[in-house]
Amino acid sequence: MSDAGVPTVLLSPRDVASESAGARAALIAVALGFLTLFLVLPLAIVFSEAFSRGVAAYLTALLDSDARAAIALTLTVAAIVVPLNATFGVAAAWAIAKFDFVGKNLLITLIDLPLSVSPVVAGLVFVLAFGAQGVLWPWAAAHGLHVIFALPGIAMATVFVTFPFVARELIPLMQQLGSAEEEAALTLGATGWKAFVTVTLPNVKWALLYGVLLCNARAMGEFGAVSVVSGHIRGLTNTIPLQVEILYNEYDIVAAFTLASLLALLALVTLAFKTYLEWRFVGAARRRGAG
């Protein structure tokens, strides 16, 4: 499961086709028609609706105080979540890719587990733990710690939901790279940390960056889990997606799509970066193949 991402990055399509030209054209038409219907139109309508009353209305919606509070909270959550999951991803990838130990496959499966859990269930587990009837409630209350309906709960739920993103990018790549280069560095007298910084990190920096970007996009866009723990307090515990929901339910369509367009833009930047990386890796693989 965890190695599904790498081959698509490294493979280069070739023009091998034995279907008739007619069949080929029909298949391409079906594929493009389906993708237009399900991907292009939903993306296009975000920007079309956001700018439907002009640039001035867009800017007004963007500069609204609740919108700015939502943007600030979203940035804060991402600033907490992304470094945590990036650190975890690097540590897990080092342990899993560089060593052989019992139970490794189980560990990989468990790391992927949050991807198969419904976001609503992810939010619920933190409500059950820290909510008014939760097992950790007395402890949190005694320390004056507000978790649910507050920033810590939002951050925890987001950490859970975005848990495997960096690890999933790094593990298959580091497994593929092996550890011969690091061992050579150690033989030459480098410390383990130095070998990691000077050998491993440069080798995996693009995958790491992509994992971070993906984790960030998901952290900023998470809806279900955050919706359960946040309590929807305007100007206080609303992230951008929650603010989008509130505006949409109030029929403030332009404002809802204005904030949504920020997240759509972030998604497009993430996809563009992934495409750039694929182009880079496919190019590098071809050069290696030719050399």
Partner 1 sequence: MTLSIAGAAFKKPSALPGFAPTLGFTLFYLSLIVLLPLGALVAKASGLGLGGLWAVAVEPRVLAALKTSFGAALAAASIDVVFGAIVAWTLTRYRFPGRRLVDALVDLPFALPTAVAGISLAALYAPNGWLGAPLAALGVKIAFTRWGILVALTFVGLPFVVRTVQPLIEELDRELEEASATLGRIALPPLVPGLLAGLALAFARGVGEYGSVIFIAGNVAYVSEIAPLVIVVKLEEYDYVGATGVAAIMLGVSFLMLLAINLLHAWSRRGLGHV
What is the identity of the amino acid at 88? F
Q: With contacts defined by CB under 8 A, name the span among 59-67, 107-115, 139-147, 203-211 that binds partner 1.
A: 107-115
Member of 72, 75, 79, 91 binding partner 1 (CB under 8 A):
91
Residue identified by tokens 């359960």 is 228
Member of 73, 170, 210, 222 binding partner 1 (CB under 8 A):
222
What is the identity of the amino acid at 105? N
- Nearest to partner 1 of 206, 248 (CB atom): 248
Residues of span 35-54 touching partner 1 by CB under 8 A: 35, 37-43, 45-46, 49
Residues of span 57-86 touching partner 1 by CB under 8 A: 84
In the complex, least distance from residue 180 CB atom to partner 1, rounded to whole angstroms = 10
Residue 220 Cα to chain centre, angstroms: 8
Q: Within 10 A of 149 (CB to CB), how many other CB atoms are there? A: 17
Distance CA 205, CA 245 (A): 36
In terms of C-beta density within 10 A (0-12 exposed, 13-18 middle, 19 or more buried), how is residue 169 classed?
buried
272 binds partner 1 (CB under 8 A): yes
Member of 153, 172, 211, 221 binding partner 1 (CB under 8 A):
221
Q: Within 10 A of 108 (CB to CB), how many other CB atoms are there? A: 20
Q: With contacts defined by CB under 8 A, name the span among 34-42, 60-68, 137-145, 202-210 that binds partner 1.
A: 34-42
Phi, psi of 7 (to 5 degrees): -55, -40
- Nearest to partner 1 of 37, 59 (CB atom): 37
Q: With contacts defined by CB under 8 A, name the span among 58-66, 137-145, 201-209, 210-218 that binds partner 1.
A: 210-218
Residues of span 147-186 touching partner 1 by CB under 8 A: 156, 159-160, 163, 179, 182-183, 186
Q: Which residues contact 83 (CB under 8 A, 6 or more apart)?
A: none
Distance CA 95, CA 130 (A): 31
